[in-house]
Amino acid sequence: MKITKNLLTPEAQFRVKLFLLKMYYKKIIEILDAFKSGCVLIEDDRLNHYYVRLIIIIENILNDHKFEEINEKSPYIYRSLLGELQEIDFSWEVVRGHAMGFLAEIDKQCILRQVPNYKLPIELTDSIKWIDDAILEHKETVIKESTILKKRAAEDFEKNKESSEKEIKKTNKFPHKLPAGTKWENFIIKFVDDKNVFIQVMQYKHTANYKEMGFIGRGKDPRPSEAWILLKTLSTLNGEIDIRDREAKEKYKKQKEFLAEILQNYFSLDYDPFYPYHSSSEKSGNSYKIKITLIPPPDQKRGINKHEREATDNNDKKYSDLDDVYKELTPKIYDKYNNS
């Protein structure tokens, strides 16, 4: 149905205004979404100009006494975006939730009044097109700026990572020179507490803390890094984490890679201490599983099941140090190096 300048009945005029209200309010939400798209907020005079104009038009429609019932349910919306960007950033979900709720109320009234989809006159069609062009242009700018920021962040991460790796290689090393052919399966790392571990590799033993091994977080008084926390978590899960959530998998993947690099640097071994992520002969299913035998801190065995917890508790009582554990786990290697 086309909107004409012919005289319309009061009910027909109400339906036309209701249709326009719905159309304009949808554009308001699209502009709000455009301002919040990406990881940056960019002030846009042109888009803000259209936003202000739409707000005025919407308020004029709602001032009609016939819209009194709908107007009572209208949420507070900002009259200008440029002066409220910070507040929108902090309360975005609330702002958008209220706006979508009001749009649903308009939709409800359109259904009750049997409002058709009118064909807009050329002047309204052009004005909507200008708004759509401004929204598209703004989104493209946001995407461009977001890409630049992400690239810079990635470059900074790589620089910091490279610097950290160089520092680790210089200062953090296992004090014993391991013989050629040493495998990750030859390692046992037992957490003494949250910050210290006892390490045994064949006949070589050493007690170290997270700082010595290179697991240092950021800050003036750095705490253990996330890679150290992952290592400790693995110790409570029998060395294996099964990740099903995609977002969580990506997070753990980065920490697993950093953990692997620190262990390789500290022990001077040049291959991955983890089994392949996908199912293999060493494990079933997709997971991050470390080749090192890990023993959790005495008071942090909640992640393992009852059977494994009892077995670990028995080991703690049975062995005064790791000699017997090591001999039990790798008898051939133990005998070779202790008899040489």
Q: Is residue 204 part of a domain?
A: yes
pLDDT computed for residue 195 by the predictor: 93
Whether the pTM exceeds 0.75: the reply is: no
Closest CA to 29 of 115, 70, 88: 88
Give the pLDDT of residue 171.
63
pLDDT of 106 reads 92
- Residue 20 is predicted with a pLDDT of 93
Per-residue confidence (pLDDT) for residue 331, from 0 to 100: 42
| Per-residue pLDDT, 303 | 45
**CB 290, CB 183: distance < 8 Å:** no
Residue 186 forms part of a structural domain:
yes
Q: Residue holding tokens 């969580």?
A: 248
Domain span including residue 230: 171-338
| The predicted structure's pLDDT at residue 182 | 94
Residue 157 falls inside a structural domain: no
Report the number of distinct structural domains present in the chain: 2
Same domain, yes or no: 217 and 120: no
pLDDT for res 97: 84
Which residues of the chain register pLDDT less than 70?
1-7, 38-40, 82-90, 161-171, 219-221, 245-249, 300-340
Quick one: 84 and 198 in the same domain? Answer: no
Residues 183 and 316 in one domain: yes
On whether both 142 and 212 belong to a single domain, the answer is no
Q: What pLDDT is attached to residue 164?
A: 60
- 34 and 73, same structural domain? yes
Residue 138 phi, psi dihedral angles, 5° rounding = -65, -45
Question: Do 87 and 178 share a domain, yes or no?
Answer: no
Res 329: pLDDT: 45
Q: What's the pLDDT at 6? A: 54
pLDDT at 286: 85
Which pLDDT score, from 0 to 100, does residue 88 have? Answer: 60
- Note whether residue 1 is domain-resident: no
Q: Which amino acid is at 202?
A: M
